Homo-oligomer: A and B are copies of this chain.
Amino acid sequence: MSDMTYRTWSLNGFGLTHLALGEAAAPELGDRELLVRVGAVSLNHRDKLVIDGVLAPNLAFPYVPASDAAGEVVAAGPAVQRFRVGDRVIGHAVTDWIDGKGPPVLHRRMLSAGLPGVLGEYIVLGEDAAVATPSTLSDVQAAALPIAGLTAWSALVETAKMIPGQTVLIQGTGGVALFALQFAAAFGLRPIVTSSSDEKLVRARELGAWNVINYRKTPDWDRAAIEMTAGAGVDHVLELAGGESVRKSVNALAVDGRLSLIGILADAESALPTAAVTRKRITIRGIAMGHRKAFERMNAAIDATAVKPMVDAVYPFGEAVRAFEHLANGAFGKVVISLT
């Protein structure tokens, strides 16, 4: 491996104009590390915030962006036990969160935060930072999982422990939202999707939404949700908007309901209606990705239910800038870069 070079994208200043394709030398593999030939990379809103200088203003350049990659193991350190050359794997972005309680996110052991990103032809992963790819998914589909899929799974299954028949209101049709919608539909839940676009709501119906609300046409979407549930309120809201939306989300919730705060990574505050939270005994929980065991459980569920990640568009490796632009303009599900 030692003479090998490969191509990788890296950022040399804030803004997409500073994202450039270059060469890198093959790294030395540690005892328990894997060299992975990347098959596909998916982009997240967080990547955009970093590139634009919003989320990590003290970023060190050059910086390799993106945290979500799927590929194939092409070499393994001598002490590796969990995988073999030829295995298909996905990187787990929060590399040091194996099970149970974990670290706060956006930290020094996270891919494309303290650790290098994955937008290259090859990456090195600790064997503890990889999971086996679901056998029912392609690399393009599998690359969509690490942040968006795992966050949705953690919200619905690992923390809320939702049970079939319960209602969940999902805000929007981005990456996390569509995973949540598809999981909810496949697990016997009743998903309600909100969007400002009737066209997207039609597509949400096709993906299994039990009900939909255009929040532009129905600004009192909290009341609409209460009516849909025969006055009871919804069991769970995936709060993907934040800010003023929280007040309505709390209002839409049933007694003993739950609000998952998701993806609100930049500094911000919401107004919390404390009296309503107290009287209805609402639970609010911050959600950010999940541990590796949760990732493995999600993969088993994906194979069991044949859920296919919703990929809005696939770009070739050379067109990463266009892929980021697509993401910035709003996507229905995930934007993926394919290397094969």
Chain A residues within 8 Å of B, Cβ to Cβ: 31, 98-106, 157, 161, 163-166, 183, 186-190, 210, 242, 246-247, 255-256, 261-288, 291, 293, 297-305
Q: Which residues of B contact A187 (CB under 8 A)?
A: 164, 187-188
Report whether B164 and A161 are in contact in the complex, using a CB–CB cutoff of 8 Å.
Answer: no
Nearest chain B CB to A247 CB, angstrom units: 8
Q: Which residues of B contact A247 (CB under 8 A)?
A: 269
Report whether B277 and A286 are in contact in the complex, using a CB–CB cutoff of 8 Å.
Answer: yes
Q: Which residues of B contact A298 (CB under 8 A)?
A: 165
Q: Which residues of B contact A161 (CB under 8 A)?
A: 161, 163
A271 touching B272 in the complex, CB below 8 Å, given contacts A100-B291, A101-B99: yes
Report whether A283 and B281 are in contact in the complex, using a CB–CB cutoff of 8 Å.
Answer: no
Report Cα–Cα, A328/B238, bound state, in Å.
Answer: 41
Contact partner of A164 (CB less than 8 A), chosen from B101, B276, B284, B305, is B305
Report Cα–Cα, A336/B149, bound state, in Å.
Answer: 43
A256 touching B101 in the complex, CB below 8 Å, given contacts A274-B261, A278-B287: yes
Count the copies: 4
Contact partner of A268 (CB less than 8 A), chosen from B210, B261, B275, is B275
Report Cα–Cα, A154/B242, bound state, in Å.
Answer: 29
Among A166, A256, A282, max chain B CB count under 10 A is at A256
A274 touching B280 in the complex, CB below 8 Å, given contacts A157-B163, A301-B165: no
The 10 A-B residue pairs whose C-beta atoms are closest, nearest first, are: A99-B100, A165-B300, A165-B301, A164-B301, A278-B286, A277-B286, A272-B272, A284-B284, A100-B100, A264-B274
Report whether B269 and A273 are in contact in the complex, using a CB–CB cutoff of 8 Å.
Answer: yes
Report Cα–Cα, A288/B278, bound state, in Å.
Answer: 6
Q: Which residues of B contact A293 (CB under 8 A)?
A: 100-101
Report Cα–Cα, A301/B102, bound state, in Å.
Answer: 21
Q: Which residues of B contact A242 (CB under 8 A)?
A: 274
Report Cα–Cα, A86/B50, bound state, in Å.
Answer: 41
Which chain B residue shows the least CB distance to A280? B104
Q: Which residues of B contact A276 (CB under 8 A)?
A: 286
Report whether A269 and B267 are in contact in the complex, using a CB–CB cutoff of 8 Å.
Answer: no
Q: Which residues of B contact A269 (CB under 8 A)?
A: 247, 271-274
With A261-B277, A261-B278, A270-B272 known, 6 other A-B pairs at CB within 8 A are: A98-B100, A104-B255, A165-B298, A271-B271, A278-B286, A284-B284
